[in-house]
Amino acid sequence: MKLLRRLSRRNALKTGLASITTATIAAPSAHAVISPKAPGETKIVAILGHDAMHNGVAYETYIRSILRRKKNWRLIFCRSNKYFTPELISDADLLMTQLFGGPYVDHIEGITDRPEARKPLWNDELVEAVVDNVRNRGMGWMALHNSIWFGKKELEELMGTKPVLHQEIQPLIFKDFNQEHPITRGMDDFFINLDEQFNVELMSPSTTTVLFRTLAVHDKNDAVGGWCREQGKGRVVGLLPGHEHWCYRVPEYQKIFWRAAHWAMGREIEPFNK
């Protein structure tokens, strides 16, 4: 009888462990299930860089720390591009992108013994969805850091810029803040210890507002740092700093980010309280 009891207990433990293992394996798929947008809720969708050069986990952590002050703002981060779909952004109030359009390393779900496959992000269906949601539905779009390298003409036209590649990572001075625009009104010059200094060529200067410029300390390059424009029913903001995650921890840049999110959605800009 004792032997039978031990065997029964052993079988029970095996069964239980099998159940736990099954649940653990199945769990990642549950993260793809996003409940519908609730009445009065603000839905923000973000997809950020996850590769050898970009720390997507840190970006998400600090961007959440900036925007979590708004209790009814729901922040949905795609940690794999397979979840970034036209359906997901069809009712979004704001889209944030922070990654280039070339091969993209998906966030690894679970464990692996081989390098993660590199997949392109932007396909024709996604490009059409972003353009349509901004221009025809009024979704805001914040294109951050290296998002300017879309590789898609339609997105460049929506953003109103052509990309200019950065040089070395170096200290940057933020300057020439547009005192006429609510995103940057009242801002003074400040400094970030290290970052990539991307630049852009404005395709339509008459319909694009430059928000601020950056000056690279080492090579003295002067560049556009941020800009915005209205496109149909929607609004677009470009913010080039942010290769290094600590940019999102600088209080002055947090304030710009906070204001830009409000402006892009056509909301009254509330004071930013650190």
260: nearest Cα among 67, 48, 99: 67
232: left (phi over 0), alpha (psi -120 to 50) or beta: left
| Amino acid 117: pLDDT | 64
Q: Pairing between strand 42-48 and 73-78?
A: parallel
Q: How far apart are CA 96 and CA 143, in angstroms?
A: 6
| Amino acid 122: pLDDT | 86
Q: Pairing between strand 140-144 and 103-105?
A: unpaired
pLDDT tens-place values along the chain, 274 residues long:
443 344 444 444 444 434 333 333 333 443 457 888 999 999 999 998 877 778 888 999 999 999 988 889 999 999 888 889 999 999 999 999 987 766 565 665 667 777 666 667 788 999 999 999 999 999 999 999 988 988 899 999 999 999 989 989 999 999 999 999 999 999 999 999 999 999 999 998 999 999 999 999 999 999 999 999 999 999 999 999 998 888 999 999 999 999 999 999 999 999 998 6
Q: How far apart are CA 160 and CA 157, in angstroms?
A: 5
| Amino acid 7: pLDDT | 40
Task: Kindly give, in sequence order, each residue whose CB lies less than 8 Å from that of residue 140, ignoring residues fewer than 6 positions away.
Answer: 93, 94, 95, 134, 234, 235, 236, 237, 261, 263, 264, 265, 266
| Amino acid 35: pLDDT | 84
Beta bridge partners of 16: none
Domains of the chain by residue range: 37-162+226-264
37-162+226-264 in CATH: which number? 3.40.50
Q: How far apart are CA 225 and CA 86, in angstroms?
A: 29
| Amino acid 1: pLDDT | 43
Residue type, position 173, single letter: I
| Amino acid 13: pLDDT | 40
Please state the φ and ψ torsions of residue 217, each to the nearest 5 degrees: -70, -40
197: nearest Cα among 177, 228, 219, 223: 223
Q: Where are the alpha helices (DSSP H) in the chain?
A: 2-30, 56-67, 86-89, 124-132, 153-159, 251-264
237: nearest Cα among 142, 109, 158, 123: 142
